[in-house]
Each structure stands twice: as C-alpha cells, then as structure tokens.
Amino acid sequence: MNQKTTISSKGRATTANQRVTLRTIADVTGLSLSTVSLSLRGGTTLKQETRDKVAEAAAALGYVPDRAGVRLRTGKTNVIALVLDGSGDSIDFARKMIQGIGQSIQGTRYHMTVTPEFDRHQSPDNIRYILDNRTADGVIITHTTPRDKRVQLMIDADFPFVSHGRTEFYTPHAYHDFHAEVFATMAVDRLAAKGARNVLLAVGDDSTTNHHNIVTAYHRAAAKAGINAQILDTRLDGLRFRTHAEMRTLGLELAKLADHPDGIICDSEMYSIALLSGLQEGGLMLGRDVHMIYKQTSDIVPTLFPTLDSIREDVFAAGVELTRLLLKRIEGEPAQQLQTLAEPIASWRS
C-alpha cells in the first residue's frame, strides 16, 4: 500500500496514517518541543516569525490537538460552547452568529461546539450537561429571559459565560445585547415624522428581556410623540405563537379595518414579510397607506421590499463581541466590566 511520506528537517520520516504530534512539528520546524507547545498555546513572548512558522507547519501537517491530553494536563477543554436559539424569526441569525464567533477564535487555541435549542423549556438541561461534564471552558447563550434559568445555573457554578441579551439578576454577569430601547425609540420617531398616528408594534417572544425592553421604550416614545400606540399579540389564544401563515392572514384582516394602522414596527423579519404580504393583498400600499419599520438581520427583506425602512442589528459583529467578552471572562476579568450594548443602525430608504 502506498503511503504519503514527509521528511522532517532532521531526517525523520512520517507517514500519512501516523498521528501528527508536537514532536512532529518540532522536527519539521527545527524548534524545541517547549517552543512549539508554547506557540500553539498562543504564547505572546515568542517572536511573530516563530509563531507563524509553527502555525504554518501545524496547518500543513494537519495537526489536531489531543483534547483528552490537554484536559488532563490543564483541566481545560479549549472549547467554547454556543447554545443557540433555534427559532426562525430572524433570518440568517444563526449563520451570522456562528460566523462571527468562528472568525474570532481563528488563530486561538479554542474550538466551538453548537447546541441548538428548539424548546426553551429544556434549555437548562443543555447547560447542566456542560457544567456536569465540563465539556467547555465557557458558554455563549442567546435569547435570554429576565430570570433565565440557564444564567442562574452558571452564576451559581461560577462558570464563565456571556449572554446575548440582558436579564434582571442582581448578580452581574457578562452580556452583549442589541440596544432594543433605542431601536423602539428610533422607529417611533421615524413613523411620527412620516405622519403616522395609529402605530402598531409586532414584537416576538414575550418571555424575553428584549421584549420587555422594546415594549417599555415603545410606549414611552409614543406618548412623547402624541400618537396612538397598540401592541399586536403574536400569540394565538395566549398559548402558541402564530405561524407565518397566520401572521399573513392577520395582515389581511388589519388591512380591512376602517382604522387600520398607518405605521407598523416589527422586530422579526419573517413576521414582517408575512404581515406585508397580507397588508398588500388587502389593498394597502406601502409608503402611502401604511409605513413599516423592521429590525433587519439579513439582506432578504431589502431585496423583496427595497423602499422599506429598517433598523439593522449586525449579528456577525455581535458574534465577534460575544467571543471577545467570553475569552476575557475565561481569563478571570470581572463580569461587571464585560457588559456592552450594540447601537442600532438606521437604514432610511423612503
């Protein structure tokens, strides 16, 4: 059987079916074993030329760290875990979040695992598994609730984590969040400037802290602008959330009302598309009969409705920031120093 053979700088031959170790990289580069080990651990005391040499050799040889060995030696896994909400209301949210985190850990010793959550009532089990088995050095969670059980578990365990979203816990924890209060205020002010006087807010999961922040700021801004403010119940019969088809039907019903809303704010791209479809089928013209401002997380809606105003959340940048905060938390930086907000980005198109 033919085997691909690599000759090291010291004359040793390694075959393709042999595991590449630190010793292999040391032989190929001519560096000491301790230098190679320090370089792969991100040692900043080494020259950049040395770190580049080791990194290039490791990539060329296909080096994969022995995680079991690393864990035995250091107690670390070199893994960060992303526990990601599986709801589909925000288009491209998951992909951009993963890309942001993935880019941020390139060149570090960390790798990422992703656990999707499709049932938030089960979410503490995912965190409990990570804590009990120490499968990661730190955790990123999304879509937090005011008294999030996942957050409570990690605070109690003094385990490094960062949340994409705020909570109401008195004990500080690391977080990065979209500044929802500014989003709601900007949207109300924009609609009021366009002459809207009967505004409707369609906001998603009412169990999240984000929902509370948006609703509170919405009522405050509407009162200041002197416009009528209503909230659309996205739940059906108070139990389950409306499907996109049901939201489309609701848009059609709204269009038939004599006092239909002349301004709509929506924090979900999927709900925005569904509502707009129903409103248009009902005979309302965007920009004339009704104005809408939605929270943008992808380039899909601007393609379908190029004149529609949006306020964007940069989810990729959120992934980058969450990773930065988590790595600092793992290093021991106090949680109260690791709390940031992302400012909304207005895209006024009409």
Tell me the fold of 5-64: 434 Repressor (Amino-terminal Domain) (1.10.260)
For 248-267, what is the mean pLDDT? 94
Where along the chain do the CATH 3.40.50.2300 domains lie? Answer: 73-179+315-344, 180-312
The top-level CATH class assigned to 73-179+315-344 is alpha beta
Return the percentage of the chain with pLDDT > 70, whole number. 87
Q: Are strands 161-164 and 174-178 parallel, antiparallel or unpaired?
A: parallel
> With left for phi above 0 and alpha for psi between -120 and 50, is residue 110 left, alpha or beta?
beta
For 155-178, what is the mean pLDDT? 96
Where along the chain do the CATH 1.10.260.40 domains lie? Answer: 5-64
Asked which of 42-51, 70-79, 170-179, 317-326 is least confident by mean pLDDT, the reply is: 70-79
The closest alpha carbon to 176, from 338, 328, 346, 345, belongs to: 338
Q: What is this structure's pTM? A: 0.78
pLDDT of 256 over the 70 cut:
yes
User: Confidence class of residue 92 from pLDDT cuts 50, 70 and 90?
Assistant: confident
User: Confidence class of residue 100 from pLDDT cuts 50, 70 and 90?
Assistant: very high
262 touches 289 (CB < 8 A): yes
Count of other CB atoms within 10 angstroms of residue 21: 17
Q: In the prediction, which pLDDT does 243 show?
A: 85
CATH superfamily for domain 180-312: Response regulator (3.40.50.2300)
Q: In the prediction, which pLDDT does 19 show?
A: 75
Q: What is the pLDDT of residues 195-254, one digit of tens each?
A: 999 999 998 777 888 889 999 999 999 999 999 999 987 776 666 778 889 999 999 999
Q: In the prediction, which pLDDT does 63 show?
A: 77
